[in-house]
Amino acid sequence: MALEFTDTNFKEKVLDSEKLSVIDFWAEWCGPCRAIGPVIEELSKEYNGKVNIGKVNVDVNPQLSMNFGITSIPAILFVKDGKVVDKLVGAQPKANFVKKIEQHIA
């Protein structure tokens, strides 16, 4: 199951992690966000133990959204060694996520 990242656990779970983290910035009211939700869940199962995959609810965690300059959702950030190494914005096919993940864990 996808992790839930928050303003309080983000540093520990993402920035301080040695693994690649894939963070889905989303909101309950966002149709495209709900559309990719199942894809994020699938990826979290497929990459369990290899990649941190989780979600940030922008309505509940506004500080994270501001820190990363999130202006459109869904926005998916790929973070490695505490730095954003890639980004996807908008609903995307699963293959696009897999391609980016593989690129950054190779």
Give residue 106's pLDDT band: very low, low, confident or very high (50, 70, 90).
Answer: confident
| Annotated catalytic residue 30 | yes
Asked if the model's pLDDT at residue 68 lies above 80, the reply is yes
Q: Where does residue 69 rank: exposed (0-12), middle (13-18), buried (19+ CB within 10 A)?
A: exposed
pLDDT at position 67, please?
94
**How confident is the prediction for the chain on average, in pLDDT?**
95
Residue from 33, 40, 43, 64 carrying the catalytic annotation: 33
The DSSP letter of residue 4 is E
Residue from 23, 30, 40, 51 carrying the catalytic annotation: 30
4-34 pLDDT, tens digit per residue, is 999 999 999 999 999 999 999 999 999 999 9
CATH architecture of 3-101: 3-Layer(aba) Sandwich (3.40)
Q: What is the value of pTM for the model shown?
A: 0.95
| Annotated catalytic residue 56 | no
The DSSP letter of residue 75 is E
The span from the CA of 42 to the CA of 2, in Å, is 9
How do the domains of the chain map onto residue ranges?
3-101
pLDDT at position 1, please?
84
